Structure formats: structure tokens, C-alpha cells
Structure 1
Amino acid sequence: MDKKLIHQGIETLSLIDQDIAQAVKQYGLPDGRTYPKGFEAFLFTIISQQLSTKVAIAITDRVLALMPACTPEQFIQIPTQALRDAGLSHRKIEYTQGIATAALEGNFDIDGLQHLDDERAIKTIINMRGLGRWSAEIYLMFALDRRDIFPADDLGVLLGLQKLKGLASKPTPKEARDMVTHWAPWRSVGSLFLWHYYHQN
């Protein structure tokens, strides 16, 4: 999502949700955020699991340095030990090699995701081992620029919504989804703002 899209979304959300309108006055707009499309994004998603962003970026950079280009064809040729030396666990090697193999065999059409509606794209992604709904939603938001995604399982989103709405406790994912139905069709921008708001407090 670029700044223009974020600005447009926040303007609309501010008109329909006074809590956002007040919070934007105090904390401003979130920065834009994009992921590279394609295999590289899924590679980074797997590497990032249960790691800090700083560590995940460092490991990803080491893996990328092992390939002329980040494609399933190039990745699958990297020796398993080289991936271990770069910092990938056995399980993450299994997942990333599985995604690369599925792409090469035509069982995971990464480029075709952009032509699917949100739910079909999410279902296609979560069929891959190692990729859950959160990973799929993040890919749709930041690689495909889908405007109406709400990753309700994300802790930062839930805590941001708790603070924004002055709740006594963190809402459940279902409660959170119900609370932001009126944000449609700008729930991706709303989610980005919740992360921004949470980290400002």
C-alpha cells in the first residue's frame, strides 16, 4: 500500500469512525508498506516466522545471496546444507522447498493469485504447508494491494483495536471482525493504522 492509497483510506475511515479520526490527529498516518510479489514474498514469510524482523531480514539476505535471482527454479537448486548455514531450520527448509516444488510442478500458481478473489486466493495459499491464514492475508495486503483485508489473528491488530476502542481486554478475532465491518472496503488500511497506533502507545 502506497501513501496515496493510505491517505484515501484514512480519510474515508475518519468519516465513519470517530476513534480513528481522533487518533490520526494525534499520531498521523502510517507509512506505506509493500512486499515483493511472487516466490520471494513467501520465502520471506516462512523465514520470518517466530523471528524478529531484523533477524529475518539478515537470514533472507543470506539466502538471496545464494541465488542469481529469487525464483523457485533457482531456490530448489540450493543445497540443503547451504540453507542450514544461512540460518534456516529444518522445518523452514522443508516448507520453502515444498513451496518451490509446488510452484515448479504447477500445483501452486503464484502469479495466478492476483486474478483470484480474496477468499479464493487465501484458500490457495493456505493449502501450502507452512502458510496459514495470517500469512495469506499479509500477502494479499502488501504484495497484491488488496484493500479490504483484516488479519484478525494478528496480535498487534487486536491490541491496537483494544486501545483504539478503550476496551478492558483484547477482543477475540471474531469480536474484532465484527467491530470493524463498517470499515469495509478499507479494512487493509484500517489494519495498517492499528499497527501504527499500537506501536505509538
Structure 2
Amino acid sequence: MIQQYTPTNYKSICDELAATDADLKQIIDTYGYPPFWSRTNTFESLVHIILEQQVSLASALSALNKLRERAQEITPARILLLTDEEMRACYVSRQKNSYIKYLAEALLSGQLNLDDFPSMTDDEVRTKLTALKGIGNWTADVHLMFALQRVDIFPIGDLAAVNALKRVKRLPAEITREQMLEITKQWAPYRTLAAMLLWHFYLSSPRPPKGGGRQS
């Protein structure tokens, strides 16, 4: 059975994590529960995530709003009508333009059907998404977490989540990706909510300014 977090159960899942991990409990005690971050399982959501690759959330949202303004509605057909110049005027890089148009074509051709995702396993969704140009594990992770509300995803390609993990667990700077993934196993089957708590900590706690960036 596919398990999801919902507005009614996500706080109880956070409490369950806090009961077994003092560091996560400290986040809740200090900053409260994370917001209920969610998105729709749509083309627009995937476009938004692609725009968020390796840039700030504010920059990505600015580009998304420009696209909305230009296309009126962000659908595969409308996006494919925009020229490269129009996409560039919406702050979309040449590379991301090609990723977004490739995704639009995959949806219109039937190569990808987002309506299938709710009944598919995490691995099946990931395989479908990462088969597309410009979509890697980070993009698949974010779509699984926020658009499909899957409960057991840890986005190891996300710098904010990784930096928060290092700070909260007081980990050495040279720790490897594999070692960090091993640490996150203690939060299964609720790694998504643990990641949300870490993001909440990252956004709420004072920290020195640093360049952000995410994977595809």
C-alpha cells in the first residue's frame, strides 16, 4: 500500500520521529512544526521544480510567474508555442528551456502520463521521471515528496537538507554521501518528514549566508 502524509497526519508523524530522535525533537521544540509543503501532480509543478534546479527558490518562482504571465496557463501545449526568445525573457536558461520543452513533448506524446503516478511505487515514478532529459534524482525526489506526498524520501542531492543534517547531527565536513544516507535510514519509513524538519530548521535558524544550489 502506498503511504502518504496528509494535513491530518503529518504532525503525528513528526511527533513519532521526535520520540526516537532528540535532535528532531529539538527542532520542533524550538521552531514548531514545519509548514505543510505540498504541490499538485501537474506539468506546472514539474516545470517549477526544473526551474528550482541549482538556483534560489526566489529566482525560480520569479521565472515561473513570468512564464504564467506569458503563457496565461502553464500547459505542455502552451509552453511549446513559446519561442526560445520568449522563454529567455521569462528568465529560463537555454538548458532549462530544452528540459521543459522535452517534458512537454513527452506528456503530449503519451510517453509520460502524470495521472499514472498516484498508483505507482516510488521507484516506478523515479524511473519514469529520470528517463527524461534534465530530470535527475533531486527533481524526482521533490516531485515524490511534495506532489505525491510520499513519506519515505530523503533528497540527498539537496544542499539545504544536507547542510541542515550536518549541523543538527554535528557531522564532520568530510562525511560522505553514503555515510549520510546511512544516518537517514534511522528515520525510515518517514524520511520525507525528517527532511521537512531539517528544511524547517535550515530556514528558521540563523546561519551564515552561503551560495545555494541543487541537483537536477
Fold-level similarity (TM above 0.5): yes
Q: CA RMSD in A?
A: 1.7
Deviation at 1:2, TM superposition (A): 5.4
Aligned residues: 201
- 2: CA distance, partners of 1:13 / 1:126: 30
Is 1:194 matched up with 2:198? yes
**Aligned counterpart in structure 1 of residue 130 of structure 2, from 126, 130, 134:** 126
Which of 143, 151, 157 is the matching residue for 2:161?
A: 157
| Contact 1:152-1:174 at 8 Å conserved across structures | no
Kept after mapping to 2: 8 A contact 1:2/1:33: no
Q: Is the 8 A contact 1:23 1:197 kept in 2?
A: yes
The answer to whether the aligner puts 1:28 opposite 2:32 as a matched pair is yes
Q: If the length of structure 2 is used for normalisation, what is the TM-score?
A: 0.86
Query: Highest relative contact order (Cα 8 Å, sep 6+), 1 or 2?
Result: 2
Q: Which of 56, 71, 78 lines up with 1:67 in the alignment?
A: 71
The CA distance in 2 between the partners of 1:163 and 1:51, in whole Å, is 22
Equivalent of 1:79, from 83, 98, 117?
83
* SS of equivalent to 1:159: helix
The answer on whether the counterparts of 2:27 and 2:197 sit within 8 Å (CA) in structure 1 is: no
CA contact (8 A) 1:3 1:31 kept: no
In structure 2, the CA distance between the partners of 1:111 and 1:170, relative to structure 1 (3 Å rule), is farther
TM-score by length of 1: 0.92
Query: How far 1:178 moved relative to its partner?
Result: 1.0
Match of 1:90 among 88, 94, 101: 94
Deviation at 1:132, TM superposition (A): 0.7
- Other-structure match for 1:7: 11
Q: Of 41, 44, 52, which aligns to 2:45?
A: 41
Q: Distance in 2 between matches of 1:143 and 1:170?
A: 33
Q: Which runs of 5+ in 1 are unaligned?
A: none
Contact 2:67–2:74 (CA under 8 A) maintained in structure 1: no
